[in-house]
Structure 1
Amino acid sequence: MDERVLRGRVAVVTGAARGVGAALARELAGEGMRVALLGRECETLHAVARTLPVEAHCYAVDVTDKAGMARVAEQVTDDMGPASVVVANAGIAATGPFATADPDLWERVVNVNLLGSATTARVFLPQLARTHGYFLQIASTAAFGAAPMMSAYCASKAGAESFAQSLRAEVAPRRIGVGIAYLHWTGTAMTQDIDENPVLVALRASQPRFAGRVHDAAQVARWLRLGVERRATSVYCPPWLRLMEPLRPLFPFVVARVARRALAHVDTRAVEQSAGVLGAGGAADWHGGHVPPTP
């Protein structure tokens, strides 16, 4: 599925209102794909659509709303035709100790990142079967080794990886490709407080300098687009992450030890005060599709 095959086909991107989702929509549109933008922020979706050089349709929907997603899948087919590429990108993150975390927010992170991805796959699989298309699950290096103070995010991304691996084997006979994208530190609204949030500061400082580099969302989107063109089973953003795969059995132990040492020097009060959802996209999701005003 190279760029010549992508041209004129339909791509569906969830979480397309900002960040990696919006950047990937621009990359795919640049290859001539017609794009369906899904998300909870209607006005922001339309703002992204206006930047695209090809036909784009916006659908305001919550990826955890099974009935709503089923309706949107039908609308995409009616408006644009069956999807050839579906990217399960919608995701939110929250930091803070598990013991004192808001249980509803903790569950919301898991629902969006894991169950929302499964719902996305479920409603679009019939279309991908018709087009022999490609489903890309956006995961994270959080699936490599779970970091403390981000238990919901790490659990959901590890679950999303396992879900996509299982799905890949199931749908291969139907000539549907399934890829998993592993994103590291990426410059989006989710990481806008990377130098102030005590949890993010501690986690990043515990990594080698090259591993702590924050990659621009546009660059990450280019890596993802290449993965879509190749129907890659794994997409590493940045590419050097591929070299870490043989070491994955060691990661849980290494991450736990390093993180424990790093967080030992973090102000507990500051961690408690900074706990909560990360970024404008997460805030919009948590507040029902609207970004709350800055205090």
Structure 2
Amino acid sequence: MSGPIRGQVVVVTGAARGVGASLARKLAARGARLALVGLEPAELAEVAGDLGPEGAAWEADVTDGETMARVAGEIVARYGRVDTVVANAGIATGGPFLDADPVSFDRVIEVNLLGSVATARAFLPALVASRGYYLQIASLAALSPAPMMAAYCASKAGAEAFAHSLRAEVAHQGVRVGVGYLSWTDTDMVRGADQDAVLRELRARLPWPLNRTYPLGPAVDRIAAGVERRAPHVYGQWWLRGMQAVRGCLPGLVATVGQREVRRAEERLRAVPQPRRGLVGPGGQADETHRARH
């Protein structure tokens, strides 16, 4: 527990499950004090309970700017400062764009991109005060477009660009900004997406190493180490670093290979009831439940 992050206050959004929950536990084990933000109060309370007295949870929709500003104030009031913010909250939907439910499609962009914007707006004053670190969790989807994932790719590419722009704006104030990248990682969201047989088969036909689902633990270990280093780029899987060098070639390659695979799956895609509704995984269901209540 004697690392560079010991005693620091770290805020993690989307902390009820998956990457967020695992990262919170790993950073707490390294001595950090954790403020958890998310939509699932029972799950958040369970994670906070694992963190000891220095862990606490706040229920909040990251797209609600007023709520996020209030939460930021409460976290600063409780801990006295904020040293690191990990903008991790994210949801997904899948399938052909023309078959997508517009509400679900737009909500993915709202949460993944505008939710990150609202998170940064709420917490940057505290990070300026502490000369802290903001880590935006992006994805392989930010590096490489993919058919059947238009909303997710657009949102993660936007979040990556937002973070890169922000980095230059706040560097002179002592704030470091990083971007984290993960490939398919064993989370509830990825398992939820794999429940669609056609999408699961399309993913399985991707070339190695894109076609694997990677274990959560090692990926989060890499992110935790990146948080401690205040790294500009963090890669959940080692090979993602190499994707940066070839990302300019990827849209053309995906267009060439992707059209062949989509044509092959067209008949089965048409058999799926239209429009495709809903967000994937328990996190997506929690978002839908929250919006239904409000």
Shorter-chain TM-score: what band? over 0.9
Structure 2 residue runs of 5 or longer lacking an equivalent are: none
Taking the aligned partners of 1:195 and 1:156, their CA distance within structure 2 comes to 20
Corresponding letter in the other structure for 2:284: G
Residue 16 of structure 2 aligns to a residue whose secondary structure is coil
Cα distance change, pair 289–44 in 1 and its aligned pair in 2 (3 A): farther
Taking the aligned partners of 2:119 and 2:198, their CA distance within structure 1 comes to 31
TM superposition score normalised by structure 1: 0.93
| Structure 1 vs Structure 2 CA RMSD | 1.9
Taking the aligned partners of 1:92 and 1:137, their CA distance within structure 2 comes to 14
Cα distance change, pair 3–278 in 1 and its aligned pair in 2 (3 A): farther
* Equivalent in the alignment of 1:166: 165
* Equivalent in the alignment of 2:95: 96
Q: Is the 8 A contact 2:204 2:212 kept in 1?
A: no
Corresponding letter in the other structure for 1:286: E
* Equivalent in the alignment of 2:19: 20
Q: Is the 8 A contact 1:187 1:217 kept in 2?
A: yes
* Equivalent in the alignment of 1:282: 284
Taking the aligned partners of 2:53 and 2:19, their CA distance within structure 1 comes to 19
* Equivalent in the alignment of 2:184: 185
* Equivalent in the alignment of 1:109: 108
Once the two structures are superposed, the pairs formed by residues 231-250 of structure 1 within 5 Å of their partners are: 231-250=230-249
Q: Is the 8 A contact 1:95 1:275 kept in 2?
A: no
Q: Deviations over 1:205-246 (max 9, x none)?
A: 232233322122222211100111111111111011111211
Cα distance change, pair 222–82 in 1 and its aligned pair in 2 (3 A): same
Once the two structures are superposed, the pairs formed by residues 1-295 of structure 1 within 5 Å of their partners are: 4-53=3-52, 55-193=54-192, 195-266=194-265, 267-272=268-273, 276-288=278-290
Residue 208 of structure 1 aligns to a residue whose secondary structure is coil
Corresponding letter in the other structure for 2:217: A
Cα distance change, pair 192–15 in 1 and its aligned pair in 2 (3 A): same
Corresponding letter in the other structure for 2:280: L
Deviates most, 45-54 or 225-234:
45-54
Taking the aligned partners of 2:194 and 2:138, their CA distance within structure 1 comes to 23
Residue 239 of structure 1 aligns to a residue whose secondary structure is coil
Q: Is the 8 A contact 2:101 2:277 kept in 1?
A: no
Give the CA deviation at 1:275.
Answer: 5.2
Q: Deviations over 1:257-294 (max 9, x none)?
A: 2222222222123554665311100111122179xxxx
Aligned length: 290
Give the CA deviation at 1:92.
Answer: 0.2
Structure 1 residue runs of 5 or longer lacking an equivalent are: 291-295
Q: Deviations over 1:78-110 (max 9, x none)?
A: 111211010000000001222232211111111
Corresponding letter in the other structure for 1:165: H
Taking the aligned partners of 2:14 and 2:193, their CA distance within structure 1 comes to 21
Residue 136 of structure 1 aligns to a residue whose secondary structure is strand
Q: Deviations over 1:121-145 (max 9, x none)?
A: 1110111111111100000111112
Q: Is the 8 A contact 1:114 1:159 kept in 2?
A: yes
Residue 135 of structure 2 aligns to a residue whose secondary structure is strand
Cα distance change, pair 195–152 in 1 and its aligned pair in 2 (3 A): closer
Cα distance change, pair 54–250 in 1 and its aligned pair in 2 (3 A): farther
